[in-house]
Amino acid sequence: MSRVAVVGAGMTKFMRRAQETSKELAWQASKMALDSCELTLKDIDSVALGSAPDAFDGVHMKGEYLVDGAGGWRKPIMRSMVGGGTGVFCAIQGWYHVASGLFDTCLVVAEEKMSTCLPHPQAAFNSIFDHTTERPLGPNLLWIFSLEMNRYMHAHGITKREIAQVAVKNKKNALDHPCAQVAEEITVEDVLNSEVMAWPVQRLDVSPTSDGAVALVLASEEVAKRITDKPVWIEGVGWHLDTSYWTNRDLYYPKYVEYAARMAYRMAGIKEPRQEIHIVEPYDPFDYKELHHLEGLLLCGKGEAARLTVDGVTARDGDLPVCPSGGLLGVGNAIAAAGLMKVAEIFWQLRGEAGKRQVPGRPHRGLAQAWGDLMQVGTVIVMGI
């Protein structure tokens, strides 16, 4: 396999509602990514596109609809969709397009426009529940998160007060992100006093719905070295899907994230992830998910992630910075674009281009992870310089 580098990145603001169409958002991010490494569409051999459910847009075969904005017309293009895991998965897909030797370059584009769906984009998720045994009970998407959060808290004796610190940290980190939608300085009390949505989940435990797009340019080793003197290498990738009989699993631990991480670590030659990973962007659509995922990624023991947060280890200037971007809780959750935003953040951080968000100590290796479907998919990418 040939080595693959990320050489450019671009993104739009994340917004509750954008005037731009899906296509226009995809174009804006793609153009910025190309400009950032001084390439044009002519230099792009293939396109890997990620966008979550068609139901958000009410457009069947959204991948085909987006093709022009994503620079994919008259090119080999492939759209992937693994729910919330899509953003990191489409970068993995771009990686194997290039690693296989089939293409020298790949434009990776993730776009999401959730605001189109009425009355609320949450409704688009209703059809993920089993149509015969679950949907007649009137479920809503928050149920699966709150059921999982409750089980996680119960298994380890973790409190909502500890978990709320993740929301406080990420929303604060996002104040330094120019694309952020819900960056703010809040307190643990604010989280605990916010509207209860589906206990134990409260309003400020949750990321917002968003519109936005992110794009990356990937290149083979030979091409990357001609384009830039600061390539960021994709060292390992992994993905894994668990059973859709989700009520038959113990939700306290995301085993599928662990399997995805192990696959990526093996490829990257990482034996001691806690020592060898310097910066992490785990998927944080809810505050407890950041903790859940840090454990699944083997970056701390089961039930230990809350303590790391309380002790400041995961702060931007801590020993293991987690979500220095501001994450989904602060920047926003434009589903597929949010996952790819995390990959872009690792790229910018490792290049030393993250400005006010820059993690101290010149990190050499970072990890981005996303999660989704019916609480069952983990997608992981490890990058280094």
Partner 1 sequence: MSTKVPAYPGTPLREEDLKEGRVLLVKYQPRAQYRWDCGVAIGRYLAELKEGRIIARRCDRCRRVLVPPRMFCEECFRPTDAWVYVESTGTVNTFTISHIRWDAIRLDTPQVAAVIDLDGASRGIGILHLLGGVEPEQVTIGLQVKAVWKPPRQREGAITDIRYFKPF
Q: Is 123 in the site for partner 1 (CB under 8 A)?
A: yes
| Out of 114, 182, 251, 306, the residue judged to bind partner 1 by CB under 8 A | 251
Shortest separation between residue 272's beta carbon and partner 1, angstroms: 30
Among 131, 157, 185, 229, binds partner 1 (CB under 8 A): 131
Peptide bond into 119 cis (omega under 30): yes
For the bound state, the minimum distance from the C-beta of residue 1 to partner 1, rounded and expressed in Å, comes to 28
Report the nearest approach of partner 1 to the CB of residue 247 (Å). Answer: 5
CB nearer to partner 1: pick between 132 and 275: 132
Smallest distance, partner 1 to C-beta of residue 107, A:
17
What is the torsional sign of CA 320, 13, 90, 84? positive
In this chain, which stretch among 9-17, 95-103, 219-227, 275-283 interacts with partner 1, using CB under 8 A?
9-17
Exactly one of 77, 348, 359, 370 binds partner 1 (CB under 8 A); which one? Answer: 348
Helix (H, G, I), strand (E, B) or coil at 328: helix
CB nearer to partner 1: give 183 or 380. 183
CA dihedral of residues 48, 51, 53, 58 (deg, nearest 10) = -110
Q: How far apart are CA 126 and CA 246, in angstroms?
A: 15
Burial letters for 252-269: b for 16+ Cβ neighbours within 10 Å, e otherwise? bbbebbbbbbbbbbebbe
Tokens standing for residue 212: 């936005």
Residue 248 or 275: the one with the smaller Cβ distance to partner 1 is 248
Q: Which is nearer to partner 1, 93 or 210 (CB)?
A: 210
Alpha-carbon gap, residue 130 to 327, rounded angstroms: 30
Strand pairing partners for 380? Answer: 238, 369
Total number of residues that touch partner 1 (CB under 8 A)? 67
Binder of partner 1 out of 7, 22, 26, 28 (CB under 8 A): 28
Residue 381: CB partners within 8 Å, gap ≥ 6?
Answer: 88, 91, 92, 95, 234, 236, 237, 264, 343, 346, 367, 368, 369
- Backbone φ, ψ for residue 235 (5° rounding): -95, -25
Closer to partner 1 by CB, 178 or 312: give it: 178
The verdict on 274 binding partner 1 (CB under 8 A) reads: no
Distance between CA 149 and CA 95 in Å, rounded?
33
- The residues that touch partner 1, with contacts defined as CB under 8 A, are 9-20, 25, 28-29, 32, 36, 58, 119-120, 122-123, 126, 130-134, 136-143, 146-148, 150-151, 154, 177-179, 195-201, 211-212, 243, 245, 247-251, 348, 351, 353-355, 357
